[in-house]
Structure 1
Amino acid sequence: MNRQMAGYIQDNFTEIISSWQELMKNEKNERSFQVMPTDLMNQTSKEFADLMVSNLLESHQAYENRLNDFAEKVVRLGWSMTFVTKAITHFSEVVFDGMERAGIINEKNFRAFSKEFTNWINPIRDSTIDTYSKTWERTVSLQKIALQELSASLIPVFDKVSVMPLVGTIDTERAKLIMENLLEGVVKHRAEVVLLDITGVPVVDTMVAHHIIQAADAVRLVGAKCMLVGIRPEIAQTIVTLGINLNEFTTTSTLQRGVEQALAWTNRKIVEVDEQ
């Protein structure tokens, strides 16, 4: 029966994909197909149909390779796991209904084909969910690592003056990375003043403040000064409400003012030059 099912799909490939796409477009609360360019939607649909057929005809290893490639693609496209499982269900429904209309499935073999479809779809659904979950976790992990590396680097802006922009939530793991990059950067760039820019940090609570204070203390131990910049009004209010002591910090509301103060500490200043 597997070959009979695969043969029907291959002989009616275009019609099956078209019917399946209509079902997917009509899924409530799912806009993956509605916003996807037509060419990309058609290509992805073909790859999905090929994956479904491969489970009927190809070896387990060949199917697993296709599945891994497809899972990576749909994760990049932003398909939810719910959308993927609905795609599998709708595809099997389209094929079953089509085979029934064509007379391939009838009263005599209905039970046998129903069991065969169940044996076909359930393993696909289970393996797809498992692969999708692993791919998603790996993708999120890689993105998190990339974000940590990009958002915790010390950038020299002037001689002896460097800036570290902090972006996103600061947890213990990120705080450790910030500390390491900060100290390495101070030594590497021979910085005398470091500006910690928290403009991109959404929330500053007691734990975040503790990590920032530790970073500033570490900077002072290697002979540099540390300034906290980018303190928005709501952040200032939170710091006061929580009773966080930042008295040992020089703080400014913007990076620009921080740079001006840093230059003053290193006996320099920004001057305007009249154009001749």
Structure 2
Amino acid sequence: MTGSEMAARKCVVGAMESRVDEIADRWVQLQMEQGAVHTGMRESELREEADALVAAVAAGLESPLPVERIVTSYADLQRAVTQLSLRRARGGESPTATSLAVLALKEALLEAVQERTQDSGELFSAALLINQLLDAAGALSFDTYVEGREEIIRRQSRQLLELSTPVVRLWRQVLGVPLIGTLDTARTQVVMENLLQAIQDQEATVAIIDITGVPTVDTAVAQHLMQTVNAVRLMGADCIISGIRPPIAQTIAQLGIDLSTIMTRATLADALSEAIKLTAGPLPVAAPAPR
């Protein structure tokens, strides 16, 4: 650490020592004035956020870490920036507004330094330090926000997939999966997981996969269906595919897709009728009439 950096850190830390609360208040005020918050966060929530981040900045500057590593290596500061970004990502705030909210702390810190010293050299060094520190914090908040939003999108996509592939109980020991739309790899995985779990939970012996709502069946879709059927069989259950309409039957035949090992039916009603037969078991043997 160079002498000029040490002096600049001492100047900024000195300006923050007795004014942490004032700096936090000023930062909240700046965010509200600049419109850096649009998610309806209450002022008390902003203040709690500000207290944590300002305290972490002060503690990080007092650490022996070089300024370029404080944000990423000082745990409390990294945690404060990360939590701020994730909270705003979940609230629907934009990444730009989130980064600007972090960068607004620059102005609050510079005002505090200006009240401590009027020396132009000290002010310049302190400004460079604050810019370097909070630019790194802004970059971390942006990266964290993007990762957080991607995780939210993945979770929501998963939830939509689960909602679009329900497993329903049609009859005693008979489950049904009505499919609507395109069947891709991700959706097949969700269908398979949900169906296998339902077979275990409900002790089902027959599963009906209805593809009436699937617009087309190509080689990839057929492969996905066969994977699901094989997984169901490994669970000890029978699988029936229903909804084989004439155009789909013709396409399957033209593509040379072999579904001969899979039980298929034209309609869901036909498949359910077959499933009832499969679960009915052998008919009881009548007792001989008494003599």
Choose from 137, 140, 149 the match for 1:127: 140
Alignment partners' CA distance in 1, 2:97 and 2:215? 31
Alignment partners' CA distance in 2, 1:92 and 1:109? 16
The structural deviation recorded for 1:95 is 4.5
Alignment partners' CA distance in 1, 2:52 and 2:26? 17
Structure 2 gap segments, 5+ residues each: 1-10, 61-73, 278-291
Does 2:91 match 1:81? Answer: no
Whether the 8 Å contact between 1:154 and 1:164 is mirrored in structure 2 is yes
Does 2:126 match 1:113? Answer: yes
Alignment partners' CA distance in 1, 2:136 and 2:225? 50
Shift in CA distance, 244/225, structure 1 to aligned 2, threshold 3 Å: closer
The structural deviation recorded for 1:42 is 1.9
Choose 1 or 2 for highest CA Rg: 2
The structural deviation recorded for 1:141 is 5.3
Deviations 1:114-142 (A, max 9, x none): 21222321232243344445544555555
More contact order relative to length (CA 8 Å, sep ≥ 6): 2
The structural deviation recorded for 1:46 is 1.9
User: What amino acid maps onto 2:57 in structure 1?
Assistant: L
SS at match of 2:238: coil
Query: Could you state the TM-score of these two structures normalised by the residue count of structure 1?
Result: 0.62
The structural deviation recorded for 1:12 is 5.1
User: What amino acid maps onto 1:46 in structure 2?
Assistant: R
User: What amino acid maps onto 2:195 in structure 1?
Assistant: L
The structural deviation recorded for 1:106 is 6.1
Structure 1 gap segments, 5+ residues each: 26-32, 253-257, 268-276
SS at match of 1:58: helix
SS at match of 1:118: helix
Whether the 8 Å contact between 1:219 and 1:225 is mirrored in structure 2 is no
Deviations 1:178-197 (A, max 9, x none): 33553564575434451436
Alignment partners' CA distance in 2, 1:74 and 1:198? 42
Q: Could you say what the CA RMSD is over the residues aligned between the two structures, in angstroms? A: 4.5
* Structure 2 counterparts to residues 33-112 of structure 1, below 5 A: 33-34=37-38, 36-37=39-40, 40-59=41-60, 60-93=74-107, 95-96=109-110, 98-99=111-112, 104=117, 107-112=120-125
Q: Structure 1 vs Structure 2: percent identity of aligned residues? A: 21
Shift in CA distance, 9/213, structure 1 to aligned 2, threshold 3 Å: same
Deviations 1:223-260 (A, max 9, x none): 3422249x9xxxx99x79x94559985456xxxxx3x4
Alignment partners' CA distance in 2, 1:70 and 1:202? 45
Does 2:243 match 1:196? Answer: no
**Relative to structure 2, which stretch is displaced further, 159-168 or 59-68?**
159-168
* Structure 2 counterparts to residues 1-276 of structure 1, below 5 A: 1-6=11-16, 7-8=18-19, 10-11=21-22, 13-25=24-36, 33-34=37-38, 36-37=39-40, 40-59=41-60, 60-93=74-107, 95-96=109-110, 98-99=111-112, 104=117, 107-136=120-149, 138-139=151-152, 154-165=167-178, 170-179=183-192, 181-182=194-195, 185-186=198-199, 189-192=203-206, 194-196=208-210, 207-212=220-225, 214-216=227-229, 222-228=237-243, 243=251, 249-250=264-265, 258=268, 260-265=269-274, 266=276
Whether the 8 Å contact between 1:159 and 1:191 is mirrored in structure 2 is no
The structural deviation recorded for 1:104 is 4.8
Alignment partners' CA distance in 2, 1:17 and 1:198? 56
